[in-house]
Amino acid sequence: DIQMTQSPSSLSASVGDRVAITCRASQSTYTYLNWYQQKPGKAPKLLIYGASSLQSGVPSRFSGSGSGTEFTLTISSLQPEDFATYYCQQTYSLFTFGPGTKVDIK
Amino acid sequence: EVQLVESGGGLVQSGGSLRLSCAASGFTFRSFSMIWVRQAPGKGLEWLSYISYSSDTISYADSVKGRFTISRDNAQNSLYLQMNNLRDEDTAVYYCARVGGSYLTNFDYWGQGTLVTVSS
């Protein structure tokens, strides 16, 4: 089974900050890597698929990069509505989510 | 508009059974694979089961294999999860989601979730 880790597990940031979250896989997932955003009490929302493709309707301040075993989700300028938990997910071998990164207000 | 609406959650005793449903609308249900994901209180997301558009490919996470059964009725635009021999650790919000991307698989639309509480 492919295991996923994320760092940091949480971070505090201010509106306007550039934020980067790292996701690592226990073996190569090539670019079969997605990112989701989840707000409290709500269902997850797909942000990035295929490691770097922006899902339709998602603001361009979100971007994804990486391949193989290391991936990064970057928010170029954090907005108030971006405070949430972010999960990576591999889809190379079945499906595994990372443990999540909570982004809250500094 | 794509909509997924789960139902069937509730309180059940340990060892009991429950059947979740997911009603789909706004897209051609029979053309998409579907999945179930759950989230225990205060915890992360856990993929549970996958069913292809034609039901010919089905997969389960080890945590539910042998206890949960996924199925679908394309004529009724519905997805199901039969859960047997429920345990305390099955307490969670259960989400259904559509599998998007023919190559770069992702879960592009999600339901609002239904809460399952297992009490011993």
Query: Is residue B111 within 8 angstroms of chain A, CB to CB?
Result: yes
What does the alpha-carbon distance between residue B20 and residue B25 come to, in Å, rounded to a whole number?
Answer: 17
What does the alpha-carbon distance between residue A44 and residue A97 come to, in Å, rounded to a whole number?
Answer: 12
Average pLDDT over residues B7-27: 97
What does the alpha-carbon distance between residue B39 and residue A85 come to, in Å, rounded to a whole number?
Answer: 13
> Out of B46, B50, B59, whose CB is closest to A97?
B46
- Answer whether A43 sits within 8 Å of B107, measured CB to CB: no
What does the alpha-carbon distance between residue B118 and residue A105 come to, in Å, rounded to a whole number?
Answer: 34
Q: What is the DSSP letter of A55?
A: P
Q: What is the rounded average pLDDT for all residues in chain A? A: 97
CB B50 within 8 A of CB B56: no
Band of the pLDDT at B101, cuts 50, 70, 90? confident
pLDDT at residue A83 above 90? yes
Residues B105-116 have pLDDT tens digits of: 999 999 999 999
What does the alpha-carbon distance between residue A69 and residue B47 come to, in Å, rounded to a whole number?
Answer: 20
Chain B residues near residue A49 by CB distance under 8 angstroms: 100-101, 104, 106, 108
Residues B45-79 have pLDDT tens digits of: 999 999 999 999 999 999 999 999 999 999 999 99
Share of chain A above pLDDT 70, in %: 100
CB B107 within 8 A of CB A34: yes
Instruction: Provide the pLDDT for residue A96.
Output: 97
Chain B residues near residue A100 by CB distance under 8 angstroms: 44-45
Instruction: Provide the pLDDT for residue B21.
Output: 98
Interface test with B, best of A39, A85, A95 (most B CBs within 10 A): A95
Instruction: Provide the pLDDT for residue A91.
Output: 96
Ranking A59-68, B41-50, B101-110 by mean pLDDT, the lowest is B101-110
Which SS3 state, helix, strand or coil, does residue A14 take? coil
pLDDT at residue A67 above 90? yes
* Site of tokens 């919000």: B93
What does the alpha-carbon distance between residue B103 and residue A91 come to, in Å, rounded to a whole number?
Answer: 10
CB A86 within 8 A of CB A101: yes
CB B30 within 8 A of CB B51: no
Instruction: Provide the pLDDT for residue B104.
Output: 77
- Answer whether B105 sits within 8 Å of A31, measured CB to CB: no
What does the alpha-carbon distance between residue B117 and residue B11 come to, in Å, rounded to a whole number?
Answer: 5
C-alpha distances (whole Å) from B100 to each of A49, A62, A81, B58 are 10, 20, 25, 16
Q: SS3 sequence, B11-52? A: EEECCCCEEEEEEEECCCHHHCCEEEEEECCCCCEEEEEEEC
Residues A14-41 have pLDDT tens digits of: 999 999 999 999 999 999 999 999 999 9
Band of the pLDDT at B120, cuts 50, 70, 90? confident
Band of the pLDDT at B34, cuts 50, 70, 90? very high
Share of chain B above pLDDT 90, in %: 95
